[in-house]
């Protein structure tokens, strides 16, 4: 079935450093891919998505490109801020019965940005 493998954390960077969090997937076909972010004490929230191969999702300075050749969806940001400190999850749909579509999430990568 569909699955994701996410870069192990934690990741600690200085403010304004470049960020990459790796995510690779195994899937039937070309499902939508997602990055979620969880700030301390909050629930997960959608950060960005790509719905088809070669699409680039972007939001809040973060980007990820859906690359079918390498089955990857790596998250990048050119200059991180302290406020980006959070846990980041890669996710994709798992097709199940009827129209219900559950998501399978990666293990999460803790990012800490130091001032």
Which residue ranges make up the site for another protein (CB under 8 A)?
31-32, 34, 42-46, 49, 51, 89, 93, 96-103, 105, 107-108
Q: Which is nearer to another protein, 52 or 114 (CB)?
A: 52
Strand partners, 86: 111
As a whole number of angstroms, the distance between CA 63 and CA 57 comes to: 6
Strands 56-59 and 86-95: unpaired
- Least spacing, CB of residue 34 vs another protein, in Å: 7
Least distance from another protein to the Cβ atom of residue 93, Å: 5
Min dist. Cβ of residue 43 to another protein (A):
3
Q: What is the DSSP letter of 72?
A: B
Cα–Cα distances (Å) from 96 to 70, 71, 102, in that order, read 25, 22, 7
Of 9 and 76, the one with the shorter C-beta distance to another protein is: 9
Our CB check for another protein shows the closer of 92 and 113 to be 92
């Amino acid at each position: 079935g569909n699955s994701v493998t996410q870069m192990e954390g934690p990741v600690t960077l200085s403010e304004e450093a470049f960020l990459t969090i790796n995510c690779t997937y195994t899937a039937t076909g070309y499902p939508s891919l997602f990055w979620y972010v969880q700030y301390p004490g909050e629930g997960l929230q959608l950060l960005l998505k790509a719905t088809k191969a070669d699409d680039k999702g972007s939001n809040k300075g973060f980007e990820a490109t859906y690359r079918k050749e390498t089955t990857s969806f790596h998250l990048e940001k050119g200059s991180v801020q302290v406020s980006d400190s959070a846990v980041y999850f890669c996710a994709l749909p798992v097709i199940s019965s009827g129209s219900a579509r559950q998501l399978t999430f990666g293990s999460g990568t803790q990012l800490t940005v130091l001032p």
